Structure 1
Amino acid sequence: MEIAFTKGQGTGNDFVLFADPDGEIELDADQLAGLADRRFGVGGDGVIRAVRSSRLPEGAAALAEDPGAVWFMDYHNADGSPAEMCGNGIRVFGAFLLAEGLLSLEVGESIPIGTRGGVRDLTRTVDGFEVDLGPFVVAGEAMVAARRLAVDRPGLAVGVGNPHVVVALADDAELDALDLSDAPVVEPAPPAGANVEFVVPSDPLIADGVGRIRMRVHERGSGETLSCGTGAAAAALATRSWAGEGAPDAWSVQVPGGELGVRVADTPEGPHVLLSGPAELVYDGVLEL
């Protein structure tokens, strides 16, 4: 079987994307991991299938939530395991739908996208996309151990459609010294695992009304990545919580692959967190499986 694919990236978080509008291509975990393999496959932090929500079981919930969610982002981690959401991936997914002629979207316009974490509204911007990640939860603590972290540190649990644990570090040197080649150990262990973000606030923390932080991340099922969109949102939300009253709603998050914007906005449903950043399609190809 041949797969026509596109390689895309958002702030260095890279993905293998392919179009399967009618849900005719069923790849198992090993085949998905093979696509994401950087030595024997295309290589990426995850694999994204563009499929109509009406053509797969998970899409039924998306259509029930919003009948306009025609397209479903079928996302899998690099190890082939399914994931609820990917903040960088959904922006690259939007760019892919446009390039494939599966979607028409002008700057400023929005479209609902189905995901396993629920429907997410994606807006085209001048220099990329902004995704409304929806309501969020900042609650719960855990202890986190990581290689080259001198002592275990407390982490704050944050939910943005997928689970995160955010750890504050003292300075850039401590952040740079981390070895995230192995997954950090979280105690108590989250039932479905979690992405773990390590954060250092800038000095000053707030400039021109915008909070500024640096972040590195270990993503469950993928390892350390150059960027994690939902992780950036979680890191900003955790830092905002630690900063307390008067903390800004707008944040700039520096990741190894670039810069992401995070903002908290009031909606009729309550506060939502939104993520913005670039999305680039790198090349197309065909791979025989």
Structure 2
Amino acid sequence: MRIEFTKMQGAGNDFVVLDETRGRLGLTAAHYRFLGDRHFGVGADQILTVRPSPAEGIDFEYIIHNADGAEVEQCGNGSRCFARFVRDKGLTTKDVLRVKTQKGVISPELTPDGRVTVDMGAPVFAPADIPFDPRGAQPVAVGEWQKWPLALDNTAQAAPVLVATVSMGNPHAVLLVDSVETVDVATLGPAVQQSGYFPQGVNVGFLQVIDRSHVALRVYERGVGETLACGTGACAAAVAGMRLGLLDARVDVQTRGGVLTIAWAGAQGDLSAPVRMTGPATTVFQGVIELPDSL
């Protein structure tokens, strides 16, 4: 089966984007794994699929698969690329869209400077809704919020690690670190993911506070591994830093792939306020690929 695709990136987080507005391609999890494979396929952190409006008042539906073939709830950098794709392909003339995801409706907005701002919805803090199972752990109070101690197996970490937990449509655990350059992401990331505290898996963020409006971030993503950037991870990390009293309401998040700007009115007390993320979305190339029949 031959299919057309577009390769895009947002702050280094890269995607294969597929157009299903005129009909379903009928791809399986194995097809998505093939497309995401950097040796045999196109190569991507996620595969994004554009589908037609599922309901009145909605412009498109947005489906996301990780490189391991699993469907996931949300991808912030992908949502910006999604908006750029539908505009550049002439699928819409709107600057502000309403797009259905697995976890609700998002509203990407194309800005005059070429970047895209996305209303990512309100963060979720209730453990059961993240979902996060404390498994008897007791939270450690930090200001008006808390961190959770997680006991990790198979690491050199003698004491439990303290994490802030939040959902941005997908689950995140945020660790404060002294330096994103020296932290052992390759060990701690999978250790937190495999700890059993997160029944649907978790994206693990390593947050270094530079000052109240600047942070550095690395993210070990569920089903992908470490990526150059993670949009929902940047939102989760910024929100966690704000709730812990470390950051102001608008923060530049330096990822390895570029800078994302996160703004949240909840820093002033309205926890139900949506998080807004602004960043780049760029088309890299377009092509046609033959998907093997024997996957």
Return the offset for 1:216: 0.6
Residue 42 of structure 1 aligns to a residue whose secondary structure is coil
Return the offset for 1:276: 0.8
Alpha carbons of structure 1 residues 148 and 10: separation in structure 2 relative to 1, 3 Å: farther
1:40-83 per-position Cα deviation (integer Å, ceiling 9, x unaligned): 000000101111143xxxxxxxx3xxx32121111100101001
Divergent runs of 4+, >4 A:
144-152
Structure 2 residue identity aligned to 1:41: G
Greater strand share, structure number: 1
5 Å-filtered alignment, 1:46-57, equals 46-54=46-54
Structure 2 residue identity aligned to 1:77: N
Name 2:144's counterpart in structure 1.
Answer: none
Structure 2 residue identity aligned to 1:116: Q
Q: Runs of 5+ in structure 2 lacking a partner?
A: 128-147
1:178 to 173, 185, 189: 185
Structure 1 residue 133 corresponds to structure 2 residue 120: yes
Structure 1 residue 102 corresponds to structure 2 residue 91: yes
5 Å-filtered alignment, 1:250-289, equals 250-265=250-265, 270-289=272-291
Aligned residues: 266
- TM-score of the superposed pair, with normalisation by structure 1: 0.85
2: distance between equivalents of 1:2 and 1:144? 47
Return the offset for 1:243: 1.6
Alpha carbons of structure 1 residues 44 and 189: separation in structure 2 relative to 1, 3 Å: same
2: distance between equivalents of 1:146 and 1:278? 38
The answer (yes or no) to whether the contact 1:265–1:273 under 8 Å persists in 2 is yes
Alpha carbons of structure 1 residues 52 and 181: separation in structure 2 relative to 1, 3 Å: farther
5 Å-filtered alignment, 1:12-161, equals 12-54=12-54, 63=55, 67-105=56-94, 109-125=95-111, 126-138=113-125, 141-143=148-150, 145=152, 150-151=157-158, 152-161=160-169
Structure 1 residue 162 corresponds to structure 2 residue 148: no
Name 2:131's counterpart in structure 1.
Answer: none
2: distance between equivalents of 1:201 and 1:146? 27
The answer (yes or no) to whether the contact 1:201–1:213 under 8 Å persists in 2 is yes
Taking only the aligned residue pairs, the percentage that are identical comes to 35
Return the offset for 1:163: 0.7
Name 1:58's counterpart in structure 2.
Answer: none
Q: Bigger CA drift: 32-41 or 147-156? A: 147-156
Return the offset for 1:127: 2.6
2: distance between equivalents of 1:30 and 1:227? 25
1:113-159 per-position Cα deviation (integer Å, ceiling 9, x unaligned): 11101100111112310110111123553527599875542111111
Structure 2 residue identity aligned to 1:183: P
Return the offset for 1:23: 3.6
- TM-score of the superposed pair, with normalisation by structure 2: 0.83
1: distance between equivalents of 2:170 and 2:149? 16
Structure 1 residue identity aligned to 2:174: V
Residue 233 of structure 1 aligns to a residue whose secondary structure is helix
Residue 32 of structure 1 aligns to a residue whose secondary structure is helix
Return the offset for 1:179: 2.4
Alpha carbons of structure 1 residues 36 and 121: separation in structure 2 relative to 1, 3 Å: same
1: distance between equivalents of 2:7 and 2:106? 22
